[in-house]
Amino acid sequence: MTDRINAQLAFLTEACRLKSILRATTLCDGSRRENSGEHSWHIALYAMVLGEQAAPEVNINRVIRMLLIHDLVEIDAGDVPIHGNHDSTAQAAIEQTAATRIFGLLPPDQAETFRALWDEFEAARTPDAIFAKSIDRVQPVIANLETDGGTWPAFNVTASQLETRVGSKVARGAPALWVALKTRIDAWFSPPLLIVRVKISRGHGGWPPLC
Amino acid sequence: MTDRINAQLAFLTEACRLKSILRATTLCDGSRRENSGEHSWHIALYAMVLGEQAAPEVNINRVIRMLLIHDLVEIDAGDVPIHGNHDSTAQAAIEQTAATRIFGLLPPDQAETFRALWDEFEAARTPDAIFAKSIDRVQPVIANLETDGGTWPAFNVTASQLETRVGSKVARGAPALWVALKTRIDAWFSPPLLIVRVKISRGHGGWPPLC
């Protein structure tokens, strides 16, 4: 029993390193960059609160477990910003190696269960994984909206890029959530026109009327 | 629907502030103090890995949900180190007010469910809450052991204090886990004696034999 517990504690101690992996996104108050440990907590809470947006066959408890482990590979592989440029095939290979090492710290039966759950998340084909991926995409959008666009200007993100890279994934797992987000996103990218009425006095050097 | 989602997103944005609440404990590498957001992720992962140590009637999915929300009140009430001195009655009152405000951001039905789950955790009487409290006590012990005692020297913590404040709570929910931890704790507080054999040459000014 002690050997088993020791292996479990070794895995949990290694997992602590996820708190030192920095993401591109900041906290909602913009004070600093978010780390992948606290991000994992936040999106598990997102799933708990927004679970009712999922398709009826989704098991939210499995989604929460998936989200708790979804970023652990970043301990070895680092975080890859969604709006950055990277070689996704090379990155996937690095993450596979990381998964083998990190989940391999657990006792063999648990290593297998955890790895299978992570593989399911990555494949994004089951209802649980599709909803988990939606939630993972929602939280950075909120953080960016809360910080006046956050990292969008730095990455030159356009509304149509957001639609392709984020919207399609969110809408796949949580359509009503994407409708609510899209209203906010559109307002940020195309703020309403400010209509100003100007009275121009003729003969005092003002601009001539446009009509 | 949008009003409901907006209330849920307002709660989730407020929750982000938990990432700025610092605890006494450091990360496992001692590089900085841990915040309560990443701590909440870490112990939810602890529950996922160590769930098999719980009594058979414990529902680990409920425990994980409990741990995800257990520290949210700290956004208003701050973190109270377990080995510090504080007025626990006054602190409990502050936390009750915080719970009313923070969970009250959610739509009313969810506010009620989340508050009930937090109340259950705080009361520590149900099997789920007892196990959740055990897990909450285990993680800082590991962080302290990983950093050569961590915050124990600063708080003048003794082995018997740990037994009372931590051991009793861990053993109540996860007895085998406490046995494993106790071995490590005892080794830290009472390191094995170093036995040195010294050969003393008579007549060369050495110390006389002890016998």
Chain B: closest CA distance from residue A2 (Å): 6
Q: Each residue of B123-132: pLDDT tens digit?
A: 999 999 999 9
Task: Enter the pTM of the model.
Answer: 0.89
How far is C-alpha A33 from the chain's CA centre?
Answer: 14
Q: Does B94 touch chain A (CB under 8 A)?
A: no
A105: helix, strand or coil:
coil
For chain A, how far is it from start to end, CA to CA, in angstroms? 87
Q: Cα separations (Å) of A17 from A39, A102, A115, B32, B52?
A: 13, 11, 18, 12, 24
Show residues of chain B in contact with A35, CB under 8 Å: 38
Residue-level pLDDT at B99: 98
Q: Each residue of A141-189: pLDDT tens digit?
A: 999 999 999 989 988 999 888 999 899 999 999 999 999 999 999 999 9
User: What is the ipTM, given to two decimal places?
Assistant: 0.89
Rounded CA separation B122/B198 (Å): 57
Closest residue on chain B to A34 (Cα): B19
Residue-level pLDDT at A70: 98
Rounded CA separation A167/A179 (Å): 9
Q: Each residue of B20-40: pLDDT tens digit?
A: 999 999 999 999 999 999 999
Q: Each residue of A176-206: pLDDT tens digit?
A: 999 999 999 999 998 766 666 666 555 555 5
Q: Are A137 and A164 in contact (CB under 8 A)?
A: no
pLDDT band, very low/low/confident/very high, at B209 (cuts 50, 70, 90): low
In the numeric block, which tokens belong to residue B22?
């610092």
Residue-level pLDDT at A190: 86
Asked if B37 and A40 come within 8 Å (Cβ–Cβ), the reply is no
Q: What is the DSSP letter of B84?
A: S
Find the DSSP H helices in chain B. 2-15, 36-50, 60-69, 74-77, 88-103, 108-123, 127-146, 159-162, 168-173, 175-189
Rounded CA separation B45/A64 (Å): 10
Q: Does A45 touch chain B (CB under 8 A)?
A: yes
Burial level of B12, CB count in 10 A (0-12/13-18/19+)? buried
Asked if A35 and B34 come within 8 Å (Cβ–Cβ), the reply is no
Q: Does B47 touch chain A (CB under 8 A)?
A: no
B19: helix, strand or coil:
helix
A27: helix, strand or coil:
coil
A125: helix, strand or coil:
coil
